[in-house]
Amino acid sequence: MPVKFKNGYATVIVYFYHQTYFITPYFFACLICCLTLFLGSILFFVRRKMKEVDRLEQHILTMASGDLTTPVIPGSKDELGILARELDNLRITLHETITNEQESHQANQDLITAMSHDLRTPLTVLKGYLEILRLGKNADMQTEYLNRCIQKTEDIQEMSDRMFEYALVYEKDIQPEFRRLPATLLLEHLMENADFLHLTGFQTSPQIPDEPLSDFEGDPALIKRIFNNLFSNILKYGDKKAPVVITFCQNTDSHNVPQLIITLKNAVKSDLAGIESNRIGLKSAEKMMRLMHGGLHYTQMAESFTSTLTFKGLAD
């Protein structure tokens, strides 16, 4: 606006900052909102990560308490998620290790229990006869008692020799020595044991095929143990009044793979009350057949027992 002075005219401009009454509070309000938003987002992120850390801590405490079955679920894909996955892998490894140790410990206990059970009976009888001999009772029966003592020592020796069978049943990491073997090896073991049965008073009727048989893959030592176990069961539980039927044949499975099949069928003694058995020989033979990718199937009837061996043949 023009203003007149004594020596002339001048233009006067007046500035009035009335908006400063609103700008200052607005500035501080915006500053507070920005700080709140900034700190709130940081605190939200930190709180979220702290929850994951607390969750990992709870999982670690759970594992430390002995619970290795609860899985550790990763909550994110960052470093904490990687830590959670590695912790879960550690849980799985610890669980498998402890489980294997428990199974190994249980297997050792089962082995000791089985052996002690089978050894306890002849030792008890042997001790009884020795006590009678020491007291000098029944002088006319001393020779008979001595013979019985000798028989019990032979039973104990036989059971100690069968330690391999017990260990084989309860041991896990056993690798057979596979070889390509002719079917005549099975025939040799079969006829050898059949002849021994015949010498002990059994009647045998082997049925052997005339056509050529396929080779197979197996472990000769395990095969010998299998036949010994099966024929020793026949000697122990078989009834000599009925013949032992032995058949040997070759078939093919659904994949046209040859199979060598041996079947042993014998009558069972009518009175087995005095004979104890935990079927350790059958368990041993069954596991040895599985190790050689074959199979052992047996059927217990009231008057007969049938066992079938299946060896996987090799295609020509």
Q: Does position 298 have pLDDT exceeding 50, yes or no?
A: yes
Q: Does position 242 have pLDDT exceeding 70, yes or no?
A: yes
Supply the pTM of this predicted model: 0.53
- Per-residue pLDDT at 273: 45
Q: Does position 175 have pLDDT exceeding 70, yes or no?
A: yes
**pLDDT band of 297, cuts 50, 70, 90:** very high
pLDDT in tens, 51-84: 888 888 888 888 888 888 888 878 777 788 888 8
- Per-residue pLDDT at 158: 67
- Per-residue pLDDT at 277: 55
DSSP class of 171: -
CA–CA distance, 33 with 20 (Å, rounded to integer): 20
Directed axis angle between helix 163-170 and helix 79-135, to 10°?
Answer: 160
pLDDT in tens, 244-276: 999 998 888 878 888 899 999 999 887 764 454
pLDDT in tens, 32-47: 999 999 888 888 888 8
Averaged confidence pLDDT in the chain: 81
**pLDDT band of 161, cuts 50, 70, 90:** low
Q: Average the pLDDT over each of 3-7, 164-168, 236-240 and give the range with the smallest value.
A: 164-168
Q: What is the rounded radius of gyration, in angstroms, for the C-alpha atoms of the chain?
A: 43
- Per-residue pLDDT at 100: 85
- Per-residue pLDDT at 172: 58
- Per-residue pLDDT at 274: 47
Helices (H), the chain: 20-64, 79-135, 142-161, 163-170, 183-199, 220-237, 280-291
